[in-house]
Structure 1
Amino acid sequence: MGLSRRRFLATAGAGVTLGSAGCVGSDGSTPGAGSAPGSGTETSAASTVTDRNDGPEPPTADSRLHLDYEIGTLEENIVSGGVPKDGIPAIDDPTFADTPPDGLAPDDPVFGLVRDGEAKAYPQYILVHHEIVNDTIAGDSVAVTYCPLTGTAQGFERGPVEFGVSGRLVNSNLTMYDRGTDSWWPQMLATAITGPLAGESLREFRVTWTTWDRWSSTYPETRTLTEDTGFQRRYGVDPYGQYNEKRGYYSSTRTLFEPLHDDSRTHPKAVVIGTRTETGALAFDKETLLRQRVLTGRIDDTLYVAVADTDLATGYVYANPESLSVTASDDGYTVHGTTYDADSLPLDRTLSFDAMWFAWAGFYPESAYVD
């Protein structure tokens, strides 16, 4: 617990150099190690957030997402991830190909995005070295983001600005900064906790965590992010372990940093599909959802239903305030006698994404958990 990522890479026997893990500056220099939280040598957040300006802003949501903590408490829990600002370099000029990279195996994780008929896949083995891709899809400026420590892949509208990796973490989660105002945004919260936009929430969109074979079968015209990123990295070597099959950090009970809240309702690295609204948060166990296909839970007094997409091995969450019956069938899901695909139920779908349980429970200790 309380280890910097640099120390983890050195002590975990990952078999890669620090530079190959994406934990060096863009000029190739190696940063100094960060201090463990609570060590007394950690620089305060206020003294490290510098060069704030009144530049262009990323588009923000009309309403703010629910937080279980005060903004000040979250700011107090910013810790060093062991790298400087932009020490993990975002991909600002991504290239895509119609054929997958040679290093992408059928069962490897990819993060899929579809907009206006355009489909793209972002391989996990590439993003683990960069964490943010500033991209354009269907004419829209977007950021596709991935935090390996919390197992979260999320998409954000970025408008006229780009996002970068601050080098800091909250609850083990990637803390992004926008290059317009230098506000800091923990990825999972999608809400700024420092800077001129503190308290505002970003506009989000769905990114699907699935495997290459499932994604390419569903979207055969997809284009795939290539290893031509402009950086020298040992792509295919994951400093934290591997997903195919799961091992290392991704399967152990160990976390590198103390979570904001400990919750033993399930394995710390169990994957949940979480959703949060203006009023609360809710998590569904992903393995259970894929097996049972329909699960229900509540945020306050409102019923929510989660349904499984068996083609992509993912799930979707809908608000169901009228408690309509949703049943699984061979062809999809039946509501009021009509059958629908998992992603098109006649209900209001809420944004949801995969996360490791310890991270979800850390940010949302009041969240219900459905298994």
Structure 2
Amino acid sequence: MKVSRRRLLTAVGLAALAGCTSRANPGTGGESATTPASSAEATTITGETVPTAEETLPLPMNAADLEAHAVSGGPSKDGIPSIDNPSFVAAGDVDFLNPTDPVFGVALNGDIKAYPQKILVHHEIVNDRLGDRPVAVTYCPLTGTVQGFERGETTFGVSGRLINNNLIMYDRATEAWWPQMLATAIPGPWNSAPGTTSLREFGLVWTPWERWRSLHPDTQVLSTATGFAKNYGRDPYGSYAPPRGYYANDATLFEPLAEDDRFSRKRVFMGARTADGAVAFDKSTLLAEQTMTGELGTTPVVAVADQRLDTGYIYLNPEERTVTSDGRTVSVGESTYAPDDLPLTSVHTFDAMWVAWYGYYPETNVYA
């Protein structure tokens, strides 16, 4: 029997997925290299229809096997509607956010924007622009991951399928499947031609609204005037502030690809992955210690906290330079820098629940 997100949420004692299981009223640089997928088991993306990275991120198994692990989340294709014509309001005009509500912030290409979690939980994808760059801002509530991608002249939609509890996006130009965390094309029922590639990524910061607004008072904020009839005051999965429901218990709605019981399933890690491997730092430990060191594959890395935004970043540090931090400024040698602007090579970093990170990257180096 197929099990929907609605039925599973009810089974674990959470609210039904009112806005997330039915079709809404219509409204308005990954870094890395070779994937193990064979050319006959992935999806062709041609030209610049979808902007792709120079190198392809690794997959945890071949692409055809990943497709076989896809399950229905309940909604049909586009049953969770992307926001394709977003509107924004100034920070001073926001009356629907509490200080501790999570937002996903980005300052890129001349734009400063915040995307509230309480809106994206109902839509999962916002097709937007940052300056002259078309982008997709994506959020998966079941894995706690928010990621940004360049989208070229196409838009992304929600396929209605999940792998490893994680959103599978599709692009409307080729209809290829893109598991969000992997950022790499796999076959799907609408497009299964040969070839494989990864999307161009950019980072967003998961941070409380009060912290983003304090650091970026000129930010624009995604408006609740989306053109859809949604109750943006209610998260169908629970609440992050304070933690309740799905976000506060250890239950997942679907089986992960792999399990590791060293940490609770929904403990938040800050992860990074390249062709050389994957690394994850416990977020709460990083925020407490300010800096942590580890290895991505065999390359030394340093993670630094950013107390301004309650987040962190991972940098390659092959020369193992001494890095110290007070949480707001970081010293490298005799010079000081903002935590997000060190003179080291940054690696795309994002928050993820442990169960999701380990499911996709079971060979990860982990530091807690």
* TM-score by shorter chain over 0.5: yes
Give how far 1:331 is off.
5.8
Residue pair 1:144, 1:153 contacting (<8 A) in 2 also: yes
SS state at 1:82 partner: coil
Counterpart position of 2:152: 159
Deviations 1:183-212 (A, max 9, x none): 000000000111447531000001110010
Q: Identical aligned pairs, as a percentage?
A: 52
Question: Which one of the candidate residues 96, 106, 112 is aligned to 1:103?
Answer: 96
The 1:197/1:185 distance shift into structure 2, 3 A limit, reads farther
In angstroms, what is the RMSD of aligned CA positions? 2.1
Q: How does 1:125-164 map to 2 (within 5 A)?
A: 125-164=118-157
Give how far 1:12 is off.
4.7
Q: How does 1:33-48 map to 2 (within 5 A)?
A: none
Question: Which one of the candidate residues 63, 69, 73 is aligned to 2:55?
Answer: 63
SS state at 2:98 partner: coil
Question: Which one of the candidate residues 65, 69, 74 is aligned to 1:73?
Answer: 65
Residue pair 1:183, 1:196 contacting (<8 A) in 2 also: no
Give how far 1:6 is off.
2.0
Query: Which residues of structure 1 form unaligned runs of 5+?
Result: 29-51
Deviates more, 1:6-15 or 1:61-70: 6-15
Counterpart position of 2:211: 214
The 1:271/1:121 distance shift into structure 2, 3 A limit, reads same
Give how far 1:55 is off.
9.7
In 2, the alpha carbon distance for the partners of 1:55 and 1:282 equals: 32
Question: Which one of the candidate residues 239, 246, 253 is aligned to 1:249?
Answer: 246
In 2, the alpha carbon distance for the partners of 1:101 and 1:256 equals: 33
In 2, the alpha carbon distance for the partners of 1:73 and 1:302 equals: 29
Counterpart position of 2:40: none
Counterpart position of 2:317: 320
Question: Which one of the candidate residues 347, 352, 355 is aligned to 2:349?
Answer: 352
Residue pair 1:183, 1:198 contacting (<8 A) in 2 also: no
The 1:230/1:197 distance shift into structure 2, 3 A limit, reads farther
Deviations 1:28-49 (A, max 9, x none): 8xxxxxxxxxxxxxxxxxxxxx
In 2, the alpha carbon distance for the partners of 1:151 and 1:197 equals: 31
Counterpart position of 1:21: 19
In 1, the alpha carbon distance for the partners of 2:361 and 2:221 equals: 33
The AA in structure 1 aligned to 2:8 is F
Residue pair 2:45, 2:197 contacting (<8 A) in 1 also: no
In 2, the alpha carbon distance for the partners of 1:197 and 1:129 equals: 33
Give how far 1:103 is off.
2.2
Residue pair 1:205, 1:351 contacting (<8 A) in 2 also: yes
Question: Which one of the candidate residues 107, 110, 113 is aligned to 2:106?
Answer: 113
Query: Which residues of structure 2 form unaligned runs of 5+?
Result: 27-43
The AA in structure 2 aligned to 1:143 is A
The 1:335/1:8 distance shift into structure 2, 3 A limit, reads same
In 1, the alpha carbon distance for the partners of 2:327 and 2:179 equals: 39
Residue pair 1:55, 1:181 contacting (<8 A) in 2 also: no
Give how far 1:230 is off.
1.0
The AA in structure 2 aligned to 1:158 is R
The 1:214/1:300 distance shift into structure 2, 3 A limit, reads same
